[in-house]
Structure 1
Amino acid sequence: MITKTSIHALIKLMGDTDPMVVAHARTKLLEYGDQIIPDLEVLADDCYFKEEQLHIVTDVLNTLKFSKVKKGLIAWLNTDQKSLLEALFLVCSYQFPDLDKHEFEQQFMSIRRQCWLKTNTKQTSFEKISALNSVFFDDLNFSLANSSTCTPFDLLVNAVLDTREGRGISLGLIYSVVAQSLDIPLYGVTSLNMRVPFVLAYLDQSNLLSILNWGVHNNGVLFYVDMSLKGMIVEPQYLKEAFVKDGLPHNKGQFEPSSNSLIIKRYLTELRIAYENQINFRYKLNDIDELLEIFKAV
């Protein structure tokens, strides 16, 4: 049975002069797993611990918190549903281990309620996007981050929800999660080619493609939404022409909704680049590489 007393005793051992005793205490704490994180945090605040003890306790805490994120993403990959919101919470909790899941979800629900008030079943697909854009870019003032160098906080959606500034992928992820919660068929389209923009595809559920006759094989996509352009609707033909012009891949799968697994892999890849851009965050690169390794088969 794990008790605060036993955890406290192991922390005490970390002040021992024998390195083997210290190593044993550390290993034992790690074996207990993330269930001891709350108790460990409380005990680590005790002022009478020695500096070297606190250093090791902090290391154990960080290791346990990272392990919790990693196990969460592994479990997520093994589920059938693969909730995008759940995966986003797990990734954000890597940088913000004290992130409250309920509060995180409530921020999305708040945006959903505002969008619900402006959308209805009688609206066309185009009108629904117009309504969503009105909430996102006018009422809530979401915008594209101005800085030329991407930081992790431009990507981590909990930070973007607070600052209202993000990159195309972080804005798009928030937008698509809200849209899908309203049964609006808007899904991320991406690849691991970092030159390829992250866009959202609106699926044709009303059989409008034959009427619109965009002039291309649409793969069931009615149109695309570009979050880097304030939710502008992009015709399939225009998007494909842009890909050809920029020398980007334009195979059939490139224009279809991506799996949530691939979207999160792209999200982690962009987050890695952002960490690499910041000298103070480069120590996190090994962790991100370890998380990306989970998605190697995606």
Structure 2
Amino acid sequence: MNHTREINALFTLIDDPDQEVYETVSDRIVGFGKAIIPNLEDLWENTPSEDVQERIETLIHRLHYTDLVADLAEWRDSAYHDLLFGALLVAKYQYPDLQSTPVLQDIEKIRRNVWLELNTFLTPLEHANVLSSIIYNYYNLKGNEVTYSQKDDFFLNKVLAKKKGNALTNGIIYQVMCGLLDINAKIINIPRHFIIAFYHSDYEVATFKGHPQNKIHFFVDATTGQAYSHAEVENYLHKMSLPNAQQYYKPLSHKKIIQVLLEELSKCYSLPSEADSQREILSLVALLDK
């Protein structure tokens, strides 16, 4: 790392009691980018003061968060919003050193097992049965209701490691599988529910005129893999006092799915001591709208 003399001088000022001095010093340190993190970690290990260690931890978090903002902005501006990569970026908020290789290996294992059971003669419902059987029975992925006391249920790396997620993360895994296997099934915009619609093979959201419900075979609950009929979904909307409107049957864009994941994740940081974290996550939500 270059600028060693300047860095060492800045490090001696991390414990400055003057808040204005500290803010100037911390801004300058963050300006070096994440390459300075090993230096900060070394300083942390050799610092007896817990207050200084806390400041160093804050600086390291700022550096990781700045890097995440840049990566998410690049994902937002890309021509294709890869859903799996977007979900991994969300996980990097809590696990900045996340390695994607184990996640990709788990996804490939599931994909291969499903692919081995598929053939061109299967009906859409049989496709769904194979997917659900492999994901929820053979791979043993469990689904919880969305609960804000379980942060790890929102992070895809932890969901795959523990084989336990919620409707959002299980739904993302299910849709990623469908994309890899050329199955036209996508998460839709049903309020307060995360379900997947199995569309007719010729359905394209950008070109189809008419009610998209007419192009859906059936639905799958992302939490458990259970299939739902049209009547069951219509009954759910009726119980919610909602119309059977077109907007509920259109697939959510990958960007919108990641926004929903972030919005729900932010609710996990509800304690007064977590206010900064909640604000940061909501800033990521807003970033995707720019």
User: How much has 1:86 moved relative to structure 2?
Assistant: 0.9
Farther off after superposition, 51-60 or 176-185: 51-60
Whether the 8 Å CA contact 1:190–1:263 is kept in 2: the answer is no
Which of 1 and 2 has higher RCO (CA within 8 Å, sep 6+)? 2
Structure 1 equivalent of residue 193 of structure 2: 197
Give the alignment of 1:242-257 within 5 angstroms.
Answer: 242-257=236-251
Provide the C-alpha distance between the structure 2 equivalents of 1:247 and 1:49, rounded to a whole number of angstroms: 60
Unaligned runs of 5+ in 1: 208-215
* Aligned AA (1:44): L
User: 2:280 aligns to what SS in structure 1?
Assistant: helix
| Equivalent of residue 263 in structure 2, options 261, 266, 269 | 269
Matched, 1:220 2:219: no
Equivalenced residues, count: 283
Structure 1 equivalent of residue 278 of structure 2: 285
* Aligned AA (1:286): R
Q: After superposition, give the CA deviation of every residue in 1:78-110 in whole Å (9 maximum; x if it has no partner).
A: 111000011101100101112112222222222
User: How much has 1:114 moved relative to structure 2?
Assistant: 2.0
Q: After superposition, give the CA deviation of every residue in 1:6-54 in whole Å (9 maximum; x if it has no partner).
A: 534422332456655544331211111233334433x234324644433
Whether the 8 Å CA contact 2:111–2:181 is kept in 1: the answer is yes
User: 2:186 aligns to what SS in structure 1?
Assistant: strand
Structure 1 equivalent of residue 123 of structure 2: 124
Provide the C-alpha distance between the structure 2 equivalents of 1:173 and 1:76, rounded to a whole number of angstroms: 17
Provide the C-alpha distance between the structure 2 equivalents of 1:115 and 1:185, rounded to a whole number of angstroms: 15
Give the alignment of 1:7-86 within 5 angstroms.
Answer: 7-16=7-16, 21-41=21-41, 43-48=42-47, 50-86=49-85
Structure 2 equivalent of residue 99 of structure 1: 98
| Equivalent of residue 234 in structure 2, options 230, 240, 244 | 240
Provide the C-alpha distance between the structure 2 equivalents of 1:143 and 1:286, rounded to a whole number of angstroms: 30
Structure 2 equivalent of residue 211 of structure 1: none
Structure 1 equivalent of residue 208 of structure 2: none
Work out the percentage of aligned pairs sharing the same amino acid: 25
User: How much has 1:67 moved relative to structure 2?
Assistant: 1.5
Question: Root-mean-square deviation (CA), in Å?
Answer: 2.7
Q: After superposition, give the CA deviation of every residue in 1:98-137 in whole Å (9 maximum; x if it has no partner).
A: 2112222222222222222222333222111111111112
Whether the 8 Å CA contact 1:11–1:57 is kept in 2: the answer is no
TM-score by length of 2: 0.85
User: 2:80 aligns to what SS in structure 1?
Assistant: coil
Provide the C-alpha distance between the structure 2 equivalents of 1:275 and 1:233, rounded to a whole number of angstroms: 33
